């Protein structure tokens, strides 16, 4: 399958690609032609999206495949839409931006209820169409019965026609009764009904003439009384490009449906994962399975009201697991720990090195009966039948909402827990939280058996998947090929191993813009271990460096901290005579960013683990300087210990502390590199990047090798790092910004 630059460029929406983009496009096209996955690292602002998307679209058009580009960063979704619009303005493609049902439903029902409403609505439309056909048939038979032959003598045809008409009339009467029942039950969706009964060709003409956002689709559909989500599902079949969120590919259940809507087998899909360094964590999140104490209680209530021989064994095994869950968290509490629990989930350690977890052991010790495997089988069988009954009852209007079978959910989870919780890569955990309001008196009464004294605390069992390749390997094997792109996907061997990729093509492009228009300073300040952060002298040093940085920057300054708490600390301490912005958890970061970039000399304090550290562009003086304070390791809890242990066993190959390196150090440095990439986004741009912690310095490799992190950066990035004392930073910044004519109104006093 031959191709040329001219073939690529029909999908390139701008005048000329950069040289490195042109090279990357050729290599990616060759890899896709050979069905090979690609690991593609390109520095921030170097055009990775188009370098990946252009050859993917070219190959897909020639090979009759669909391209799916996906991210978990909202800001990147908007950038994808802009790029796709630019492409389709030059070379016509059919592109759809797909979003989940939850944010597109016009009547605000959950997924299960939506499914039932959709099925009942389709049943109603089918019956109405059948009625139309029968009415037409009845009219034709009546006309035939009333007609006579040319001689005027009935030859017997009229009698046969009358008999056939009477039969049709019987069918019509029965059908009218069914229709009347469906209409009275009101278990249908008016929006979806109009999808099925009106001409939607105008919608699809509008959809394909440009790249529409889900909000565009929702608004259009709402005005027409249609269901935009279902229209999109119908509209993505056979398109050239789909833009979507990670969960459409990483969630196994959603993925199966998604490919069906596409009308494609997995081998006919080319997937482009943006911000691919996030796939590791996202895969773990999509694989997690949970079961709460309240679901177990609801299952027990459900079984108590079920007259079926299987309800007793089902009750026995589920009630035993509920008691075991309560026992597990009661015994896991340390001194004073129960009082610390609030309305957020709080993990308690139940895993053991030399035997099964405490929840499983409590279940096995408490269980009595003919065998829990047999009783679980009966619970699963009964739960499946009850779930089907609920669906039918909702369709028939006997239930106002589509109920989910709690017995089925509980039995499925318990079976998975007992079978898999001891497997390598599965971390069993119990969490608790405090209810803000009692769900019912029943809950209080039922807790008294196994949770006496727990008050309003209730528990949750969770199977946490530590090894992402258990989720991603099958996906990558099934797809035709995948491009995983990021500014921080290196080290390639680690990404390949953790995600389960088989011999991918790898390519890396560092910063392509003039080196003399950027500086990377490593401030040889305190090593900001958690134990050192409260030291007054340490805080004074950090505060002075931040004030010097903001004062010497001709534009805005971004400051990233290991946590929101640290960001708040220095937001209160720093005095720069300008606006100091604070990003807080739970607040709308998009609005904060817009206010910040409208400023011209502000300082923004945020957490490196927030939403402003990647996938967000700060052009020009929107952010001239970025500073990363500390080495922002994630919170190291039992889950992270479990991930490290699983990585050590699975990927260590004799390497010391492979789990720490793979699971903690490399992801942390990737986050740091992402933050540094927020500035210098074009050849004309200029800026300063600052790492503020002694562990980044070259000397740390010798003085504290266990904690030094400089070696985790790629070689070309290390080569640009300039170690500097805290008090000298302001002079270095002054000289740099003067050299690039950065000060419009003259330099500030150092």
Domains of the chain by residue range: 5-98+236-286+480-508, 111-197, 310-463, 515-739
Q: How far apart are CA 549 and CA 750, in angstroms?
A: 10
5-98+236-286+480-508 and 515-739 share one CATH topology?
Answer: yes
pLDDT of residue 477: 96
pLDDT of residue 154: 54
Question: What tokens appear for 609 in the block?
Answer: 């683990």
User: Structure pTM?
Assistant: 0.87
Interval 669-715: pLDDT, tens: 999 999 999 999 888 899 999 999 999 999 999 999 989 999 999 99
Tell the burial category of 385 from Cβ atoms under 10 Å away from its Cβ (0-12, 13-18, 19+).
middle
Q: Which one, of 600, 599, 549, lies nearest residue 576 by Cα? A: 549
pLDDT of residue 511: 85
pLDDT of residue 449: 37
Q: How far apart are CA 696 and CA 96, in angstroms?
A: 44
Q: How far apart are CA 631 and CA 553, in angstroms?
A: 23
Low-confidence ranges of the chain (pLDDT < 50): 1-2, 149-151, 437-454
Interval 573-618: pLDDT, tens: 999 888 999 999 877 788 898 899 999 899 999 999 888 887 777 8
Helix 311-332 and helix 406-420, axial crossing angle in degrees, nearest 10: 60
Q: What CATH number belongs to 515-739? A: 3.40.50.300
Q: How far apart are CA 462 and CA 711, in angstroms?
A: 36
Neighbouring residues of 43: CB distance < 8 A, sequence distance ≥ 6: 487, 509, 510, 511, 512, 677
Domain 5-98+236-286+480-508: which CATH class? alpha beta
Q: For residue 307, say if its preceding peptide bond is cis, omega within 30 degrees of 0.
A: no
């Amino acid at each position: 399958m031959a191709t040329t630059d001219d073939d690529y460029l029909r999908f390139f929406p701008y005048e000329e690609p950069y040289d490195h983009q042109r090279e990357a496009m050729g290599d990616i096209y060759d890899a896709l032609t050979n069905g090979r996955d690609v690991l593609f690292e390109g520095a921030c602002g170097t055009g990775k999206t188009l370098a990946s998307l252009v050859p993917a679209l070219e190959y897909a058009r020639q090979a009759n495949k669909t391209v799916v580009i996906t991210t978990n960063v909202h800001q990147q979704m908007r950038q994808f839409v802009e790029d796709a619009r630019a492409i389709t303005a030059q070379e016509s493609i059919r592109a759809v931006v797909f979003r989940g049902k939850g944010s597109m439903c016009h009547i605000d029902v959950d997924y299960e209820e939506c499914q039932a409403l959709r099925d009942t609505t389709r049943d109603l439309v089918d019956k109405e169409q059948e009625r139309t056909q029968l009415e037409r048939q009845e009219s034709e038979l009546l006309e035939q019965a009333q007609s006579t032959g040319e001689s005027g003598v009935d030859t017997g045809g009229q009698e046969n026609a009358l008999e056939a008409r009477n039969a049709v009339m019987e069918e019509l009467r029965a059908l009218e009764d069914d229709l009347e029942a469906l209409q009275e039950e009101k278990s249908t969706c008016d929006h979806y009904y109009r999808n099925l009964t009106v001409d939607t060709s105008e919608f699809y003409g509008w959809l394909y003439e440009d790249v529409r956002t889900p909000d565009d689709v929702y608004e259009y559909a709402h005005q027409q009384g249609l269901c935009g989500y279902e229209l999109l599902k119908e509209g993505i079949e056979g398109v050239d490009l789909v833009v979507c969120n990670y969960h459409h590919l990483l969630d196994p259940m959603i993925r199966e449906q998604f490919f069906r809507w596409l009308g494609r087998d997995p081998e006919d899909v080319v997937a482009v994962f943006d911000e691919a360094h996030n796939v590791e964590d996202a895969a773990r999140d999509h694989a997690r399975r949970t079961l709460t104490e309240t679901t177990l209680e609801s299952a027990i209530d459900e079984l108590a009201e079920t007259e079926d021989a299987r309800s007793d064994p089902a009750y026995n095994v589920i009630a035993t697991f509920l008691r075991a869950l309560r026992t597990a968290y009661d015994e896991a509490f340390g001194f004073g720990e129960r009082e610390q629990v609030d309305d957020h989930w709080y993990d308690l350690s139940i895993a053991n090195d030399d035997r099964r977890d405490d929840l499983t052991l409590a279940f096995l010790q408490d269980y009595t009966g003919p065998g829990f495997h047999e009783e679980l089988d009966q619970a699963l069988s009964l739960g499946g039948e009850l779930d089907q009954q609920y669906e039918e009852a909702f369709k028939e209007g006997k239930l106002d909402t589509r109920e989910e079978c709690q017995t089925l959910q509980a039995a499925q989870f318990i079976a998975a827990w007992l079978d898999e919780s001891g497997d390598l890569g599965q971390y069993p955990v119990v969490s608790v939280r405090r209810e803000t309001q009692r769900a019912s008196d029943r809950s209080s009464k039922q807790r008294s058996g196994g949770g006496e004294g727990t008050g309003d605390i209730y528990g949750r069992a969770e199977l946490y998947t530590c090894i992402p390749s258990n989720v991603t390997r099958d996906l990558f094997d099934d797809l035709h090929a995948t491009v995983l792109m990021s500014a921080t996907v290196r080290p390639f061997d680690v990404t390949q191993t953790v995600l389960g990729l088989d011999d991918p093509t790898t390519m890396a492009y560092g910063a392509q813009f003039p080196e003399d228009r950027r500086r990377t300073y490593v401030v040889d300040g305190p090593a900001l271990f958690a134990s050192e952060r409260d030291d007054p002298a340490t805080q004074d040093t950090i505060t002075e460096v931040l004030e010097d940085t903001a004062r010497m920057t001709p534009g805005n300054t971004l400051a990233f901290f290991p946590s929101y708490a640290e960001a708040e600390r220095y937001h209160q301490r720093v005095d720069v005579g300008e606006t100091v912005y604070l990003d807080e958890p739970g607040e709308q970061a998009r609005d904060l960013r817009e206010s910040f970039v409208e400023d011209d000399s502000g300082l923004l304090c945020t957490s490196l683990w927030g939403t402003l550290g990647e996938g967000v562009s700060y052009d020009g003086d929107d952010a001239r300087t970025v500073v990363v304070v500390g080495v922002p390791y994630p919170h190291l809890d039992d889950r992270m210990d479990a991930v490290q242990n699983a990585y050590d066993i699975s990927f260590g190959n004799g390497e010391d502390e492979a789990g720490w390196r793979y699971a903690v150090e490399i992801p942390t440095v990737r986050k740091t590199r992402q933050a540094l990439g927020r500035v210098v986004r074009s050849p004309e741009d200029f800026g300063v990047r600052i790492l503020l912690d002694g562990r980044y310095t070259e000397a740390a490799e010798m003085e504290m090798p266990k904690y030094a992190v400089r070696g985790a950066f790629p070689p070309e990035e290390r080569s640009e790092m300039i170690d500097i004392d805290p008090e000298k930073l302001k002079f270095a910044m002054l000289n740099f910004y003067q050299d690039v004519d950065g000060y419009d109104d003259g330099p500030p006093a150092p």
